[in-house]
Amino acid sequence: MLDINFIRKNTKKVKQAVRDKGIDLNVDKLLEVDKKRREVIAKIDALRGEQKKISNEARNTQHGTRNKLIEKAKKIKFRLEKLEKEYAKVKSAYDGLMARVPTVPSPNTPVGRGEKDNKEIYVRGKIPRFGFKPKNHIEIGKNLDILDLERGAKVGGYRGYYVKNEGVLLMLGMMNFALRKMMKKGYRPMLPPTLVRGFSLFGSGYFKGMDYDPATDEIYQIASGDKEADGRVSKEKKFLAGTAEPTLLAYYSGEVLKEKDLPLRLCGFSQCYRSEIGSYGKETKGLYRVHEFMKVEQVILAETDVAKTNKLQEEMIKISEELLSELGLPYRKLQICTGDMSPGKYRAFDLETWLPGLERWGETQSASNFLDLQARRLNVKYINSKGEKKFVYMLNNTALATPRTFIAILENYQQADGSVLVPKTLQKYVGKKVILPK
């Protein structure tokens, strides 16, 4: 959530952000509800002050006067109960509207409606030219006997898949390669939980509103019950995380950090789960869009300095570029426009890798700067040199993910005889230089 004081002082900017990001939100309505909220709070505070005053007077007066004061206190209590119910209703409306307020995007963010308006910054690497018609990863995976989609669908359902034989070593090698790179760059590695409480998903912006909505949120909720440490049946909802980002960001939730420890660099390896309900009918075959995969995610918690976080964001995406370059994969860098950017993002970049078999670019990495929006929701602060408590700025990026990078390797390294060369950086993990057809 944004700071309400910022919204009041910068209403025009917030309204423009709402329009540019295509968000259904009436900012004037929010300000009206905020005004009503403050009025009710003022009334409650005034009555509580009067209630306290009467309580003090009642202790120091005689019986008759005390009875009158007690009657007056009862009336105040009744009025307070009505106001507190009114406040709960107003606060609920206020919180719901605040959850939809977007971060004002950076001044250099392209204004556009969707992915077609994203700005290509540059292309890196050589797009391969084949002396034969390149196959897609589905055909390649089947011929090499490293991918089984039919049995994957039989056992796992729609978008299910099995990775087999050398494919397993290739995928795990990619993850190991990425983790080692992150550690060399000063990122602290973690294996975070993938079964999580809702606050981490709301805090990081993976709920569209205040609570989980199965109609819009591409998240799996766990249906089975759970028990608390004392044996009681838990009423708390649990979810499967779609990335390590929420759990890494929530690691310091409710804590106050020290400025000298910032920026904090974290990376997490995890299995990821996404329902992909908003992608019905898209990429229905193959591995491009699946319900579960593995990923190495990087996260930074930094001081409240926009210029510094912009540099940190560039650092993050440069690491992903290094990974793709060392894998020998051609890619391009895009700056994401307002209409293709989620509400909480200040600035975002994607890396798209060339997929010869699919004959197009495919998103493989995404680096985002959220400023303090996520930190406010998760309540992560730090104490600066002046002794002031500030919300940290939070950034995240995909270092490397499967299976899209897996697709890119199979399709870019395919040979005329049906074999696939293993990138040099991954040969020590796979144990061979080439994967042959079976």
Cα 336 from Cα 417, distance rounded (Å): 39
Q: Which pLDDT belongs to residue 268?
A: 97
115-435 topology per CATH: BirA Bifunctional Protein; domain 2 (3.30.930)
Positive or negative CA dihedral for 91, 26, 10, 340?
Answer: positive
Cα 46 from Cα 185, distance rounded (Å): 55
For 337, other C-beta atoms within 10 Å of its C-beta total: 22
- For the chain, the domains span 4-98, 115-435
The residues facing 383 across adjacent strands are: 258, 389
Residue tagged 């975002």 (tokens): 348
Cα 296 from Cα 225, distance rounded (Å): 29
**Element holding 190 (H helix, E strand):** strand 188-190
Q: Which pLDDT belongs to residue 284?
A: 67
Q: Which pLDDT belongs to residue 279?
A: 63
Q: Which pLDDT belongs to residue 8?
A: 96
For 4-98, CATH gives 1.10.287.40
- Run means of pLDDT, 10 residues per run, the chain, 438 residues: 92 96 95 95 90 72 67 82 93 94 96 95 95 95 96 92 96 97 97 94 89 88 80 84 96 96 97 80 80 96 96 97 97 97 95 95 96 96 95 97 96 96 97 95
| Identity of the residue numbered 224 | S
Residue tagged 């049946």 (tokens): 233
Contact of 125 with 330, CB cutoff 8 Å? yes
Q: Which pLDDT belongs to residue 76?
A: 84
- The catalytic residues are 274, 289, 363, 366, 404
The residues facing 297 across adjacent strands are: 268, 398
Q: What pTM, to 2 d.p., does this model score?
A: 0.90
Cα 182 from Cα 361, distance rounded (Å): 25
Residue tagged 């939809």 (tokens): 100
| Identity of the residue numbered 324 | L
Q: CB neighbours of 174 closer than 8 A, spacing ≥ 6?
A: 327, 400, 402, 405, 406, 409, 426
Cα 114 from Cα 98, distance rounded (Å): 24
Rounded to 10 deg, the angle between the 166-184 and 137-144 helix axes is 120
Q: Which structure tokens are listed for 258?
A: 């020290």
Check residue 344 and report its DSSP letter.
T
